[in-house]
Chain A
Amino acid sequence: MGGGGSNNYDTRIIDRLSKVAQDSFKSAQPEKRNVFISFDHRDVGDINLLRGQASNDILKVEFVKESDRLQLL
């Protein structure tokens, strides 16, 4: 059930409702893709470059430093 009838509502109302719904979808979150990067300890310049990128709040890339969590054998 539901719907029914054949009312012709004001198109401005329909447009406003559509806009409200469209806006709510904007909070959707894009899919994440994970990339694993491994560095030699001598590549400290490259590592610092990534550290700098990680501190940039505008960049839509999230950095996770796994070496803090994983003990390398």
Chain B
Amino acid sequence: MKLVTLVSGGIDSTLMSILAKEQKFELFPLFIDYGQLGSKLEWEACVYNHLHHKLPVPKKMVLRGFGKLIHSGLTDKKLRIKEDAFLPGRNSLFLLSAGSYAYQVRSQNIAIGLLTDEFKLFADQTRGFISTAEKFISMEMDYEVKILTPLMDFNKAEVIKLAESKKISKTYSCHAGNVKPCGKCISCLEIENALKNLNQE
């Protein structure tokens, strides 16, 4: 079965792609450059991990105008990296883009690496949102698309555990876009907290 995977070079989407490959899906990885500060390093990590784990090379969709006009800590250095991290429409943009790509390659499945919505920060990270997005995309294209969220029962610590068992390394997810992770953005803090919890186990 065909599967469009939304990939970012981070640990979540890398793990998701490897798990999908193990399930014998024919993968169509899609990286979205929406003008995020970390896009260059994310893309490099994304390509590296796909090659390293013998996954198909991802396609890049360049939508940098989105982040140029819609400001957030993820797209604008002048804003606060953590407090202003919400980028309205980000996950909708990802899913709609993946839906269009799925239509083109005749895949009826999309996968996104969202984690448990128990500790969700934003409204577009919930099961309810995914279910609505699925209906919207299917109706919009008159083409039934299923959105898979294989990590939605996982927290970050569990992702790290499973990723280590799959020998995943050299992922990148810092929102600041620096070579050395900033340690201040939501993504860095999430990983830091998860590692702390794991060390206490």
Contact = CB atoms under 8 A, between A and B. Distances in A.
Interface of A: 1-7, 9, 13-14, 17-18, 20-22, 24-25, 27-32
B108 A30 contact: yes
A31 B171 contact: no
B150 interface: yes
Contact of A1 (B25, B107, B165, B181): B181
B75 interface: no
A61 to B, nearest CB: 15
From DSSP, what is the main secondary structure of chain A's interface residues? loop
A3 B152 contact: no
B23 interface: yes
Interface residues on B, range: 35 or more
B1 interface: yes
Contacts of B43: none
B150 A24 contact: yes
B135 to A, nearest CB: 14
B161 A27 contact: no
B11 interface: yes
A25 B195 CA distance: 27
B3 A14 contact: no
Interface in B158-191: 158, 160-165, 168-174, 181, 188, 191
